[in-house]
A and B are shown apart, each in its own frame.
Chain A
């Protein structure tokens, strides 16, 4: 299994600003993913973070709003840009050797005022 940490664990931000969330894995993994979990709802995949190339985004999510970096096999960042209250959510990073085996970080709870 992989141990995943995220920073920050929570933040309160003003409308129109941006927040970058970091995800660190304790071992080299092939796959890294970013999810959003809105209050009382399940997980929605935002994108697959690809090492050394552009992330692969799901329908409804765009790079300008959620730019993602993955400079190596153990680290990725997700930026939530030009935030609005609708972006208030929990953002989760997951990682694994392939799609099947995903281990999740503790999440970042974001509140946008």
Chain B
């Protein structure tokens, strides 16, 4: 069965304190690994797609990396506006399987 596991469940950071979120996956016929950001009361917002091990993508203070079994979302010098739930999802030809998410809170 396809499985996506995210850790930690919650992360509290001081503004400027860099950290990483982990996403491990077992998906048959993996096509891509996705990161989304979700703010309370809103739908997920697309951040990154990664297709092959070794690939990296960056957007502002976020950088996503991919290995054969896991992906990391690195948050560098976060700001309070980076507070959100970050969702990881793995796709095959058929569907996206989501992890439970990591809720990040950044304190000023």
Contacts and interface: CB of A to CB of B under 8 A. Distances in A.
Q: Do A and B bind each other?
A: yes
Interface of A: 1, 4, 33, 41-45, 48, 58, 92, 94, 99-107, 109
B102 to A, nearest CB: 11
Interface of B: 31-32, 34, 36, 41-46, 49, 87, 89, 91-101
A42 B98 contact: yes
Nearest to A9: B41
Contacts of A1: 46
A44 B98 CA distance: 7
B75 to A, nearest CB: 19
A50 to B, nearest CB: 13
Closest CB pairs A-B (n = 5): A104-B43, A43-B98, A42-B100, A42-B98, A104-B44
Nearest to A48: B95
B95 A100 contact: no
A41 B95 contact: no
Nearest to B99: A42
Contacts of B45: 104
A15 B78 CA distance: 44
